[in-house]
Amino acid sequence: AELNSDRQGLLDFASNFPHARRLNWNINTSVCTSWVGVTCNSNGSRVIAIRLPGIGLIGPIPANSIEKLDALQVLSLRSNGLSGNIPSDVSSIPSLQYLYLQNNNFSGVVPATLSHKLIAFDISFNSFSGNIPSTFHNLKGLTWLNLQNNSISGAIPSLDFPRLKFLNLSHNNLSGSIPQNLQKFPYSSFVGNYLLCGPPLNHCSSNPPSPSPSPTYQPLSPPVTQNYNATPKKKFGLGPILALAIGASAFLFLLVLIIYVCCFKRKSNAGTGILKGKVSVGGNEITSKDFGSGVQEAEKNKLFFFDGSSYTFDLEDLLRASAEVLGKGSYGTTYKAVLEEGTTVVVKRLKEVDVGKREFEQQMEIVGRVGQHPNVFPLRAYYYSKDEKLLVYNYMPGGSLFTLLHGNRISGRTPLDWDSRMKIFLGTAKGIAFIHSEGGAKFTHGNIKASNVLITQDLDGCISDVGLSPLMNSAATMSKTTGYCAPEVTDSRKITQKSDVYSFGVLLLEMLTGKTPLQYQGYDNAVDLPRWVKSVVREEWTAEVFEEELIKGQHVEEEMVQILQIALACVTKVPDLRPTMDQTARMIEEIRQPGLKYRASSESVSNVQTP
């Protein structure tokens, strides 16, 4: 019954807009699966999000329509031609968390009745007037508030937004001093309010600035009473009048220049979104082929989110985000993208995908399932079109194991201690073992390496890029994995669970030696890390294998030797002699918990020469 009421609300809304026919909201199709821009909860019983950005809706929001959707969490109607007031029954839907109405023609006063659950509220670039209501006080969870470019006047109330991360009140008619608790926001949050003062704008002077204040202007101190009769009136000569005229013209010229510069800046800022083709590399903005270029206009809402993802942005939000290139890997380019509402995600733009839509979607379904293990990095959303394939992940501020191991050394920071390494050995092994248990125990990873082990907040290892190798052109995927690649894998079709075990063995050696596995030249003319380690061990120089800093640690040598044995078992040349990933994980676990009494049944471990 509730879904019926949601459906009716949507139909009542659409009935007001001739363009809405394009939405394909057909009474005979399923609201949750077929209606464009509509998202339901996981059991399909309620509509929780409406995202209709830039689809040409013109006119007022009809009464008695959207307010019927009383489980709605996201309402995005931005970049349309909507006008009139925002019905208070809509803005106060109790479950509403994200309200995006920017870039429309709304007018009237800023809505005072808002859902207490609001996290983001954006009504920028409209024609709202009136004051900022003091009822905003109730919005304790607000992280994003954008009221820029309206005609809002009056003083800024001293609002307490404990979670606010983004604030923009610029280009309104606000006046008075900026409340202290908002002074931490930048100049750009307040600029363009000529009667506003105090940090980060100019300090407030005791005389209210001219021109004369608006009716709601509240002077900071009582106005200075002027006794006009007290001073004798002076007659001005031609000189001062000329000076005044020149001064006034110079001021006008300056004003025009400032307005021009502001407009120009706004235009160029609008181009920093990924869709606009500007991304930054190492902090420098560059123009590059953007990852939105293959997105068709009609497909902008087809971002597929996995269950458990708390993100509420749509594809257009993503494409407008400002982006920074994190790196170019064998599967494509990876971007860190910061969305308008402040969320940071990672977007992988796949190149050379070798499969059709159906196969891609089937693989994504498995990837979604595998991502439920704590040591497997979950995919949050994906987009597929003929020309563009995008994958969305959480951003991990801890970076990858590669940076932790090798980046730290470059920057002179303390190397990873042994306990942390043990935790990462075990976590990563468990993650890969879980991957191998999926897909009828036939699933593989195919690209295990240090940059694909992301580091969680509690310093655990989480294996990323899961399930991508079967999607890719086989030659392309092998280009960057040579140092980790098992000798039998000549192209990606030859990837097996045992070749993953080999790569994991290389990863263990990398963490023991502190050396990168690629093209290592060393003893015995060895060219890769496993061969180098084996040659050193054969010469009974075992201690030389370990990273110097590790040797300094106390009582860990025995554990290090045990891990070395496991690593060498994993990099055994003959695939069948390598342990399984599950066995490997359990062997690592047993080092710290001998009570488990696990012994690998494989002869592989006993084959390894004890160092």
Which is closer to ligand ATP, CB of 133 or CB of 399?
Answer: 399
Q: How far is the CB of 406 from ligand ATP (least distance, A)?
A: 11
Which is closer to ligand ATP, CB of 274 or CB of 591?
Answer: 274
Q: How far is the CB of 378 from ligand ATP (least distance, A)?
A: 10
Query: What secondary structure letter does DSSP report for 166?
Result: E
**Which residues partner with 381 through β-bridges?**
305, 392
Stretch that binds ligand ATP, among 25-33, 143-151, 297-305, 327-335 (CB under 6 A): 327-335
- In one letter, which amino acid is 37? G
Q: How far is the CB of 339 from ligand ATP (least distance, A)?
A: 15
Q: How far is the CB of 326 from ligand ATP (least distance, A)?
A: 3
Q: Which residue is nearest to ligand ATP (CB)?
A: 329
**Which residues partner with 59 through β-bridges?**
82
Question: Does 343 participate in binding ligand ATP (rule CB under 6 A)?
Answer: no
Stretch that binds ligand ATP, among 214-222, 329-337, 404-412, 542-550 (CB under 6 A): 329-337
The one among 20, 69, 118, 454 contacting ligand ATP by CB under 6 A: 454
CA–CA gap between residue 242 and residue 265 (Å, rounded):
34
Q: How far is the CB of 475 from ligand ATP (least distance, A)?
A: 14
Residue 69 structure tokens: 């959707």
**Which residues partner with 155 through β-bridges?**
175
| Residue ranges in 156-175 that form contacts with ligand ATP under rule CB under 6 A | none
| Residue ranges in 468-527 that form contacts with ligand ATP under rule CB under 6 A | 480
CA–CA gap between residue 37 and residue 303 (Å, rounded):
10
Q: Omega of the bond prior to 211 within 30 degrees of 0, cis?
A: yes
The one among 20, 178, 346, 416 contacting ligand ATP by CB under 6 A: 346
Which is closer to ligand ATP, CB of 476 or CB of 526?
Answer: 476
Q: How far is the CB of 45 from ligand ATP (least distance, A)?
A: 32
CA–CA gap between residue 359 and residue 59 (Å, rounded):
42
**44's torsion region: left (phi>0), alpha (psi -120 to 50) or beta?**
left
Stretch that binds ligand ATP, among 160-168, 250-258, 426-434, 444-452 (CB under 6 A): 444-452
> What's the Cα-to-Cα distance from 493 to each of 170, 472, 503, rounded to whole Å?
56, 10, 16
Question: Does 304 participate in binding ligand ATP (rule CB under 6 A)?
Answer: no
Residue 392 structure tokens: 């969305």
The one among 121, 331, 443, 502 contacting ligand ATP by CB under 6 A: 331
Q: What is the helix (H) or strand (E) element at residue 18, kind and residue range?
A: none
3-state secondary structure of 66: helix
Q: How far is the CB of 336 from ligand ATP (least distance, A)?
A: 7
Which is closer to ligand ATP, CB of 57 or CB of 450?
Answer: 450
Residue 80 contacts residue 102 (beta carbons within 8 Å): no
Question: Does 452 participate in binding ligand ATP (rule CB under 6 A)?
Answer: yes
Q: How far is the CB of 469 from ligand ATP (least distance, A)?
A: 9
Which is closer to ligand ATP, CB of 197 or CB of 326?
Answer: 326
3-state secondary structure of 405: helix
Q: How far is the CB of 145 from ligand ATP (least distance, A)?
A: 28
Residues annotated as binding site?
A: 348
CA–CA gap between residue 22 and residue 24 (Å, rounded):
5
The one among 79, 189, 193, 330 contacting ligand ATP by CB under 6 A: 330
Which is closer to ligand ATP, CB of 72 or CB of 462?
Answer: 462
Stretch that binds ligand ATP, among 147-155, 192-200, 286-294, 447-455 (CB under 6 A): 447-455
Which is closer to ligand ATP, CB of 48 or CB of 367?
Answer: 367
Which is closer to ligand ATP, CB of 184 or CB of 328?
Answer: 328
Residues annotated as binding site for ATP?
A: 348
Stretch that binds ligand ATP, among 73-81, 233-241, 286-294, 322-330 (CB under 6 A): 322-330
Which is closer to ligand ATP, CB of 138 or CB of 344?
Answer: 344
Q: How far is the CB of 393 from ligand ATP (least distance, A)?
A: 4
CA–CA gap between residue 127 and residue 108 (Å, rounded):
7
Q: How far is the CB of 330 from ligand ATP (least distance, A)?
A: 4
**28's torsion region: left (phi>0), alpha (psi -120 to 50) or beta?**
alpha
CA–CA gap between residue 47 and residue 133 (Å, rounded):
29
> What's the Cα-to-Cα distance from 20 to each of 90, 402, 572, rounded to whole Å?
19, 50, 63
Q: Where are the beta strands (DSSP E) in 395-477?
A: 453-455, 461-463
Q: Apex CA 436: angle with CA 433 and CA 440, to 5°?
A: 140
Which is closer to ligand ATP, CB of 100 or CB of 443?
Answer: 443
Which is closer to ligand ATP, CB of 347 or CB of 537?
Answer: 347
Q: How far is the CB of 289 from ligand ATP (least distance, A)?
A: 15
Q: Compute and round to an integer the Cα radius of gyration of the chain.
A: 31
Residue 466 structure tokens: 């899961």
Which is closer to ligand ATP, CB of 76 or CB of 452?
Answer: 452
Question: Does 326 participate in binding ligand ATP (rule CB under 6 A)?
Answer: yes
> What's the Cα-to-Cα distance from 199 to each of 26, 38, 179, 207, 457, rounded to whole Å?
53, 43, 9, 17, 35
Q: What is the helix (H) or strand (E) element at residue 81, kind and residue range?
A: strand 81-84
CA within 13 Å, CB half, 551: 9
Interhelix angle 357-370/418-441, nearest 10 degrees: 130
Residue 4 structure tokens: 């019926």
Strand 453-455 relative to strand 332-338: parallel, antiparallel, unpaired? unpaired
3-state secondary structure of 193: coil
Nearest to 273 by CA among 337, 209, 214: 337
- Distance in angstroms between the alpha carbons of the first and the last residue of the chain: 71
Question: Does 565 participate in binding ligand ATP (rule CB under 6 A)?
Answer: no
| Residue ranges in 386-415 that form contacts with ligand ATP under rule CB under 6 A | 393-396, 399-400
Binding mask 85-114 for ligand ATP (x = CB under 6 A): ------------------------------
Total chain residues near ligand ATP (CB under 6 A): 20
Stretch that binds ligand ATP, among 70-78, 449-457, 503-511, 580-588 (CB under 6 A): 449-457
Using CB under 6 A, list all residues that contact ligand ATP.
326-327, 329-331, 334, 346, 393-396, 399-400, 447, 451-452, 454, 464-465, 480
